[in-house]
Amino acid sequence: MAAVYAPRYAPDATPWHARRRGTRGFAAVTLFLAALIVLSIALIVLPSTTLDRLSLTWLIPLGLAFGVAHLVAVYGVLRRRAWTVSLTMYLMAIGLGLAGLGLLVVLTGGELFSSSTAAWNGGDVAGLLAWLAGSWLLAARFVFRGMAPPVVRPAPPEERLVEPRSMVAGRRIATTGTAA
């Protein structure tokens, strides 16, 4: 009896999501760094500013919710959840809007984080906002690419072996539309 050798692994044995682990991992790290910065702004920088009490009553909980949403997106990316693409795109849109508004305030001469304890100049704030905008763009790009299934292209017609209407179990039969 002849020995039968089987390949050690099938060429398509790796699931499609395992081929994009590095992409999702980079997106998770980028989202986590953005979450740390958003949470530190909400918990440390905002309470030390000279904003009025009503503004802080709204800004601190909104900043906390925005930071926690980043952490939820990190969980979704790591666990490969389908909803994480939408959440990351929303976070990117909100973050870019806030960064753009902050840059406009800084460029027109306003003070975004005026504090009695720390002296923030416009260049520091503009650099922080530009870095956050870039991290949101990178995270959204890598989440979008990392969660999408790979494109499967059908074989060209000339490579098909059998035309389905003219062959049955290897025997030629009369095709449809021809006389017997």
Model pTM score: 0.68
What pLDDT does 98 receive?
A: 92
- Which residues sit opposite 49 in a β-bridge? 115
The pLDDT value given to residue 81? 87
- Please say whether the beta carbons of 77 and 28 come within 8 A: yes
Q: How far apart, in whole angstroms, are the C-alpha atoms of residue 2 and residue 9?
A: 21
Alpha helices in the chain (DSSP H): 21-40, 53-78, 84-107, 122-147
Tens of pLDDT, residue by residue, the chain (180 residues): 555 554 555 555 556 555 666 688 888 999 999 999 999 999 998 888 888 889 889 999 999 999 999 999 999 998 888 899 899 999 999 999 999 998 888 888 777 666 544 556 667 888 888 999 999 999 988 888 777 665 666 656 555 555 555 545 555 555 555 555
> Could you give the CA distance from residue 114 to residue 140 in angstroms, rounded to a whole number?
31
∠ Cα 65 68 74 (to 5°): 145
Spatial distance between the Cα atoms of 15 and 13, rounded to a whole number of angstroms: 6
**What is residue 79's predicted lDDT score, i.e. its pLDDT?**
87
* CA–CA separation, 4 and 136 (whole Å): 53
Domain ranges of the chain: 18-147
**Token reading at 5:** 């050798």
| pLDDT recorded at residue 127 | 87
- 172 strand-pairing partners: 167
